[in-house]
Amino acid sequence: MNWITIAAATYTREEADVRINAMISRVFHIAQAGIHMLLKRKGAAALLLVAVLLLMYASFVPSSSIAIPDDVKQRYNTIGAEAESSGNSLAPMFESPVVIGFVSLLSLVLLISTVQRTAQLMKARPDRVRGVRLAVDEEDPRIARVLSELRRSRYRWSFSRSAESICVSAEKGSWGGFGSVLFHFGLLTVIAGITYSTLSVENESILLTEGESFRLLQEGGGGGEMRTGGSASSAAMNTPLLRLVDYDSLYAIDDVRTPAAIVETSGDGVVQRAPVHINAGLAFQGRKVHLGPGHGFSPYIHIVDPEGNVLVSAFIRIAALKNGKHRDYLELQNGGIRLFLALHGVGRTETESVPRIELRCEERGRDAWSATLGMGATQQVRDYTVTFPDMREWVQLDIADTTGPGIVAFGALIGLCGLVLRLFLYRKNIRIRWDHGLDGPCIVEGNAEYFTEIFFRELEDFHHVLLTEAAETPAVRTPRKSVHREDPS
């Protein structure tokens, strides 16, 4: 006999099956009740409240600078430089599993509610009111007046007549219910579009020093190859190549000065020089190159070991001191020596523009040593020779490829159309009755899906119009205020 132990109790296989089934059933019912609760408007309000609190918390998260990822540092001779911007510093929070889980739940609820509501609307939507014009005696001035008013207000109407009673029923706005469905569908599409965009599109940030080039390896995708020095004209003319010629912090267009990266692009045998200034990207090889927030100075560092081997010889980006502390270092002798570097004197005014590198050497078992290295000078650090011959500017260029997913724009458009529908269309019914023949009193009544007070004023206007014909018609009774309010969901 097989024995199964559950929750410290021992049951036979059959008993266990019954228990497991009961547990599954309970879990299923709880989940169903949870989803059912969230599908109601109160549940949606609770979800919205969570989203609001989340965003409020996010907006008070202290902003920090963006650290450049390790792989980028490795590729671009960067040992610790940081792109100083708080713009995107909140983004990591929104990539956390909790937030992604919440957005997934929101999407699920939106999806189910959209499907459910569509099904409800299709099922519950009343038959279209058809005008039975043949049965109407439009020759009668009272009925003609009513129908003319209804037509003017774009109501669809039907006409019924019994032995004594005559009734005109009219309705409009039945498509309004689809407005909220369309809106939620649009919202869902936006979330799907953003997810697709995040997952499928590869955007890339590159750090280029003046004179450096970047070669796009894959068209339309990410991944590129860095080239130090060289010019576009010397490169193979059919290879897409982006070269930073100059960075101008006071580039002028129409007398307005703005930072701009002057780049040279080459590909398909054409070499072009163009500025990439803030907020105005440059279309290049099916992608767009934007000027990113990162910018700084890149000193040329040349280090030779005691045997005469060149250890470093490149433009490298290093971070400035922060709170008097070094943030970047090079490791020599397999980590035995740490050579800290900080760049100073790179202001834009003449007095500030005296570039120098502050060196600090730390070695196990020996006291720390520091010195300042001016541009063009050489310094002996232990047995190593450090030279600082040149310096150039570097900028962050963002290569974006977001042209594909127009899904976001489409979803947003659909959502807005849904809101417009919801704003202008909601179901309204009007009934005009003569219970004792056309010579008897006329009763005007109606109800609206919501905004009943405003509708009641419209009904009064309608009644007023009928009253203008009162001279020709029998007494028209004041409309009764209908307080019936359907749940628009």
| Site of interaction with other proteins (CB under 8 A) | 40-42, 44-45, 48-49, 51-52, 55-56, 58-59, 63, 85-91, 93-94, 194, 197, 203, 253-256, 258, 277-281, 288, 290, 293, 398-400, 402, 408-409, 412-413, 415-416, 419-420, 422-423, 450-454, 457, 487-489
Query: Nearer Cβ to other proteins, position 18 or 416?
Result: 416
List, in order, residues 6 or more apart from 321 with CB less than 8 Å away. 327, 342, 344, 358
Nearer to other proteins, 51 or 465 (CB): 51
Minimum Å gap between C-beta 465 and other proteins is 15
| Contacts by 439-442, CB closer than 8 A, 24 or more apart | 439/474, 440/474, 441/474, 441/475, 441/476, 441/477, 442/142, 442/466, 442/473, 442/474, 442/475, 442/476, 442/477
Minimum separation from the CB atom of position 471 to other proteins (A): 23
Nearer to other proteins, 10 or 198 (CB): 198
Q: Which is nearer to other proteins, 259 or 440 (CB)?
A: 259
DSSP summary character for residue 476: B
Tokens describing residue 181: 């469905």
Residue 87 or 230 having the CB closest to other proteins: 87
CB 422, min distance to other proteins, A: 7
Instruction: State in angstroms the smallest separation of the CB of 95 from other proteins.
Output: 10
Q: What is the smallest separation between the CB atom of 460 and other proteins, expressed in angstroms?
A: 12
Query: Smallest distance, Å, CB 145 to other proteins?
Result: 22
Tokens of 487: 């749940």
Tokens of 226: 């860095």
CB neighbours of 185 closer than 8 A, spacing ≥ 6?
Answer: 114, 414, 415, 418
| CB nearer to other proteins: pick between 44 and 245 | 44
Q: Which residue has the tokens 């990113």?
A: 292
- DSSP-derived letter for residue 21 is H
Q: Output the smallest distance, CB 144 to other proteins, in A.
A: 26
Nearer to other proteins, 16 or 400 (CB): 400
The answer to whether 154 and 172 are in contact (CB under 8 A) is yes
Residue recorded with tokens 């199964």:
4
* Residue of 373, 347, 349 lying closest to 359 (CA atoms): 373
